[in-house]
Structure 1
C-alpha cells in the first residue's frame, strides 16, 4: 500500500503542481505585455486569462498533494520525522504565497484587462502589483523545489539516500 500511495503522491505532485509552477512563472511577462496594450494586446490578454485559470484550477487540484502525502507518511510511519515536518511547513508556506500574493495579483491583472480605460486607477494598481509577482512566483517555485529535494534526500531517514 505504501508504494501505491507514494507513487500516487509523486504522480499527483508532477501533474498538479507542475502546471501551477509553469503558469505562475509565465504570467508576469504575459500580463505586462497585455497591460501595455497596443494592437497585439488581444492575444496576450487571452494567454493571461488562460494562465490565471490554469493557476486557479491546478492549485485546487494540488490540494491532493499534501492529502496524499500525509496519508503516505502515516502508512510509512514517518509522520513525526523532521524532514517531513519541514516539508509540510514549506508546503503550507508555498500554498499561502499562492493564495495571498500570486492569485490576487493575477486576478488584479485579469480585472485590469477588462477595463476599457487603461488610465483607470485599477489598471495602474495591477501594473504595480506585477512588480512583485516574478519574485513571489520565484519564491513559490523555490519552496516546492526544496520540498522535492527533502522528499528525495530525507535527511536523518533510516530508509534511504
Structure 2
C-alpha cells in the first residue's frame, strides 16, 4: 500500500505542482508584455489568460499532493517526524502564498487587460506586477525545499 500511495503522491506532485510552478514563473513576463501594449499584445493577452487558468486549475488539483502525502505518512508511520512536519508547514506556506499573493495579482493583471491603457486603474495594475516575480520565486523555492526534504529525509534509515 505504501508503494502505491508513494507512486500516486509523486505522480500527483509532478503532474499538478509542476504546471503551476511553470505557469507562475511565466506569468510576470507575459503580463508585462500584454499590459505594455505593442504589436504582440493580443497574443500575450491570450497567453496571460491561459497561464492564469492553468494556475487556478492545477492549484486546485494540487490539493491531492498533500492529501496523498498525509495518507502515505500515516501508512509509513512517519507522521510525527520533524522533516515531515517542516515539509507540511512549507507546503502550507506555499499554498498561502499562491492563494493570497500570486493568484490575486494574476487576476488583477488579467482584469487590467480590459482597462484603457492610460487609465489610473491600468497603471495601478501594472505597478502591482512588480512583486509578482518575487512571489513566484518564493512559491517555487518553497516547493524546491519540500522536494529536497522529501528526498533527503533527515534521520532516515535509507542512508541518504
TM value normalised by structure 2: 0.97
Shift of 1:160: 4.8
- What residue is the counterpart of 1:158 in the other structure? 157
Contact 1:31 1:44 in 2 (8 A): yes
- What residue is the counterpart of 2:57 in the other structure? 57
2:136 counterpart SS class: helix
Shift of 1:112: 0.2
- Rounded Cα–Cα distance in structure 1 between residues aligned with 2:48 and 2:8: 31
- Rounded Cα–Cα distance in structure 1 between residues aligned with 2:15 and 2:100: 23
- What residue is the counterpart of 2:31 in the other structure? 31
- Rounded Cα–Cα distance in structure 2 between residues aligned with 1:91 and 1:34: 31
Superposed CA offset, 1:125-148 (max 9, x none): 211111000010000000000000
Q: Which runs of no fewer than 5 residues in structure 1 stay unpaired?
A: none
- What residue is the counterpart of 2:118 in the other structure? 119
- Work out the number of aligned pairs and report it: 160
Q: Which runs of no fewer than 5 residues in structure 2 stay unpaired?
A: none
- Rounded Cα–Cα distance in structure 2 between residues aligned with 1:159 and 1:89: 23
* Shift >4 Å, 4+ stretches: none
Contact 1:153 1:160 in 2 (8 A): no
Structure 2 counterparts to residues 87-126 of structure 1, below 5 A: 87-115=87-115, 117-126=116-125
Superposed CA offset, 1:40-61 (max 9, x none): 2000000000000000000000
- Rounded Cα–Cα distance in structure 2 between residues aligned with 1:78 and 1:19: 28
Superposed CA offset, 1:53-93 (max 9, x none): 00000000000000000000000000000000000000000
Indicate the larger mover: 150-159 or 46-55.
Answer: 150-159
2:117 counterpart SS class: coil
RMSD over aligned Cα atoms? 0.9
Contact 1:25 1:138 in 2 (8 A): yes
